[in-house]
Structure formats: C-alpha cells, structure tokens
C-alpha cells in the first residue's frame, strides 16, 4: 500500500501542477516543485543527523535500564494488557516496556525522547515478526497508538499562543486534551475492529479505566492553575520525571554491579546505526510530500471545500483552520506554519486561531512517523497501518471542530 500512496503523491502533484500552469497561467509551479525535491532531500539528511545524537542518547539509557532489571519489571507489570491487545507479543517481552516508555514520552510532550524510544519499540516488535518486510498486527497497533497518542502537555502550542499575545495561552489546553483522547480512542477502536481484538475484556477495561482516571485527575489539577503556573508546573513535571527515570536506571544498574558506562556505549552504538539506516525512507516520503505541497494541490482542495460549505449555507469559519489539519499528517513544520498564519490572519484568540491550535495538538505527522518507524526496521508493506492512522487523525480533527464550537463559538 505504501508504494501506491507514494506514487499517488507524485501523480496528484503533477496533475495539480498542470492545472496551475494551463488553467491558471502559473508557469513557475514546476520550478517550485523541483526546488521542493532538493530541499526535502537535504532536510531528510538533516533530520537523520539530528536523530543520530538522540538515538544514541536514549538507546544508551534504555540499555542501562534493561541491565538494571527495571524495564523487565515494567514489562511484566503491563504484560496482562499488552498480551490481550497484541497476542503475538509474549508476556514480559522487552517490546512492552519500550512501547510504554514511548507512549509516556509522547503524553508528556517529550518528542526528543519519544522518537528514539518508539524506534526501539518497533525494533523489539520486529524481532517477533515472522515476515520482516510486512508489518505485523502488533507493529500496526503500536504505530496507530503512537500517531494518535494523548498529549497531556502541548507546551509548544501554548508557547506560540503566548508569543502571539494571547491573554490566556492555556485556554486551549482542555479542548486539545479531549480531542487527543478522541483520536486515541478512535485509533484503538478501528485497529481493534480490523484485527478482531476483543476490547470488552475485564483486564483491558481495568487498565484503561485506571489510565483515564489518572488522566482526569491530572486535568482536574491543571484546571485549578493559572496559565503561567500551568506552564511552569507542566515543564517541571515533564523534566523532573525524565531526569528521575534516568537516575533510577543508573543507580539501580550500578547497585547490580553493571558497568553503566560500557552498557550505555553499546546501546548508543545501535542508535547511530539505526538513525543512518532511516535516511532512504525519509528522503522518499519527504520528497513526495514536498512535491505535493509545492504543486498547489492543497489550495485546490481548500477552494473546493469552501465552495461546498458556501453551497450548503453552513458556518464556514472552521474551513479557515483546515490548512493546519490537512498539513499535519504530512508535515509538522508545515502545519505549525499554517497554524501561526491562521493566528496572525484572524487573531490568536479568534475562533479560527483557537481551532487551528486545537487541530495542531490533536493530530500527528502520520506519514513522517510511518516512514521513520517502519523505515527503521525495513518494513515495506504497512497493510492497514496508514488507513487506521489517518482514521484517528480524522477523528481528532472532527473532535477539534466540535469542541471549538462548544468552547469558543
């Protein structure tokens, strides 16, 4: 399926470019497309080089955690849940702890930690995959949960809102949290339906119930804080948790007579090799996305959407924020630029500006995550991974629109 999507990007981009040239007289469109190809090729290498250090750091830390025995204990504690959601993963397998650490890092907004941990989890799951070039059910479910995971601390969005003069930057916090929960639930439900996973299980419901109870307690606590205090506390909690985890791994491993330095080096060496191997997959996906963006295809879609809304006589304010939603699965930086442009055009606290921020926080760069995670283990056939991931994105976007009309209209 991936090769059809990739080819489809180029075909749609070329057709759109022909329309821009022949229909609108924009002869420079092909120049922009070629420039996008070269720019994205360079960006792919920059991203991979940036990942080298992060992969080395976090895989080194995880190696120390494995040697300490703590990761094994975490895996055993969560085995009852993951063995029901992913029957092919044995109880206590290292992939369980890797997935847990990745999802926790995503929830805390620690992107620099989440990506290396996610790749580590995908490699652990690949060790159980009987067909290495085809994504297993467990790998697909993990990827979908990763791309739709709950974001508890959307600090980047709050920071941009503060910089643009929002009197209460954190006013979008609750809508973003609810929308990401909707996205996660949709991703889990659709993947479970495709893979015939039984969610109506006492153990699964118990784990999910505890998770949502903790989430509600955290939301209740943050709801009592002012905007500035919430940003300070969320930053403190995120950074304190990650430093405490690192120190716990190091001290427990040292107590067990583990040479923590040599263990870290061995883990970091694997991170370097993995990051370099991702480059071809990044080049392929980002080049296709860059060409699609430069072709003007997004503008055509937006124009058609506006005409459809006007024809139906509906409120069209939500359409002004859709560029952020349409761009997010393709490019995180592109979606961020769209969000800032919407805030500048309509106002940071306008309906459109708040909706764009909520959309930015409730969706994920699905194509990028798919290219990086599957590329790291050499998977060429993603099966239903992309469809389920995009379904979660659509659920997050729909929830963001509904919540924005509820909170801001």
C-beta atoms surrounding 45 within 10 Å: 12
Q: For residue range 350-407, list pLDDT tens digits in order.
A: 999 999 999 988 888 888 888 889 988 889 888 899 999 999 999 999 999 998 888 8
Indicate the pLDDT class of residue 252, thresholds 50, 70 and 90. very high
Three-state secondary structure call for residue 320: helix
Residue 236 domain boundaries:
2-407
Query: What phi and psi, each to the nearest 5 degrees, are found at residue 348?
Result: -65, -30
pLDDT at 110: 62
Q: For residue range 123-166, list pLDDT tens digits in order.
A: 999 999 999 899 999 999 999 988 886 676 676 787 778 778 88
Query: What phi and psi, each to the nearest 5 degrees, are found at residue 236?
Result: -60, -50
CA 332 – CA 365 distance, rounded (Å): 6
**The token pair that represents 395 in the structure block:** 């659920």
Most confident region among 11-20, 222-231, 312-321 by mean pLDDT: 11-20
Q: For residue range 71-108, list pLDDT tens digits in order.
A: 777 777 777 888 888 988 888 788 888 888 887 777 76
Inter-CA distances, 190 with 193, 202, 243, 392, 393, Å: 5, 20, 36, 8, 12
Residues in the chain: 409
User: Exposure string (b/e) for 278-287, b if CB count within 10 Å is 16 or more?
Assistant: bbebbbbbbb
Three-state secondary structure call for residue 150: coil
Q: For residue range 189-233, list pLDDT tens digits in order.
A: 999 999 999 888 888 888 888 877 877 777 677 667 765 676 677
C-beta atoms surrounding 189 within 10 Å: 16
* Mean pLDDT, rounded, for 182-194: 91
Q: What angle do CA 172, 178, 181 make, to 5 degrees?
A: 135
Query: What phi and psi, each to the nearest 5 degrees, are found at residue 244?
Result: -65, -40
pTM of the model: 0.78
Indicate the pLDDT class of residue 261, thresholds 50, 70 and 90. very high
CB 366 within 8 A of CB 279: no
Segment holding 322, helix H or strand E:
helix 322-327
CA 239 – CA 270 distance, rounded (Å): 25
Average pLDDT, rounded, for the chain: 83
Count of domains forming the chain: 1
């Amino acid at each position: 399926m991936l090769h059809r999507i990739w080819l489809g990007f180029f075909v749609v981009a070329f057709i759109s470019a022909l329309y821009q040239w022949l229909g609108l007289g924009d002869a420079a469109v092909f120049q922009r497309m070629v420039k996008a190809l070269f720019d994205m090729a360079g960006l792919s290498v920059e991203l991979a080089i940036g990942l080298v250090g992060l992969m080395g750091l976090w895989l080194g830390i995880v190696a120390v955690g494995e040697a300490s025995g703590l990761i094994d204990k975490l895996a055993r504690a969560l085995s009852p849940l993951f063995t029901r959601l992913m029957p092919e993963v044995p109880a206590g397998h290292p992939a369980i702890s890797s997935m847990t650490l990745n999802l926790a890092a995503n929830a805390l907004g620690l992107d620099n930690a989440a990506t290396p941990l996610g790749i580590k989890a995908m490699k652990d799951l690949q060790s159980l995959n009987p067909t290495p070039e085809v994504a297993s059910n467990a790998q697909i479910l993990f990827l979908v949960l990763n791309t739709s995971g709950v974001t508890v601390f959307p600090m980047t969005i709050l920071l941009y809102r503060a910089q643009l003069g929002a009197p209460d930057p954190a006013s979008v916090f609750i809508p973003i949290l609810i929308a990401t929960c909707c996205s996660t639930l949709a991703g889990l439900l659709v993947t479970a339906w495709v893979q015939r996973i039984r969610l109506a299980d006492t153990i699964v419901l118990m784990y999910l119930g505890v998770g949502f109870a903790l989430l509600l307690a955290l939301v209740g606590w943050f709801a009592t804080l002012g905007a500035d205090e919430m940003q300070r506390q969320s930053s403190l909690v995120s950074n304190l948790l990650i430093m405490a985890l690192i120190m716990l791994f190091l001290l427990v491993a040292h107590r067990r007579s583990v040479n923590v330095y040599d263990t870290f080096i061995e883990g970091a060496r694997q991170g370097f090799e993995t990051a370099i191997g991702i480059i071809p997959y990044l080049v392929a996906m980002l080049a296709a996305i860059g060409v699609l963006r430069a072709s003007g295809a997004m503008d055509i879609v937006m124009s058609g959407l506006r005409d459809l809304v006007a024809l139906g006589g509906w409120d069209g304010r939500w359409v002004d924020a859709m560029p952020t939603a349409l761009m997010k699965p393709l490019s995180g930086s592109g979606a961020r630029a769209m969000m800032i442009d919407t805030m500048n055009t309509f106002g940071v606290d306008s309906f459109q500006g708040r909706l764009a921020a909520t959309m930015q926080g409730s969706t994920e760069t699905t194509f990028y995550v798919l290219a990086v995670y599957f590329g790291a283990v050499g998977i060429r056939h993603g099966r239903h991974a992309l469809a389920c991931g995009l379904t979660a994105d659509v659920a997050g976007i729909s929830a963001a629109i509904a919540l924005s009309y509820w909170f801001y209209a």
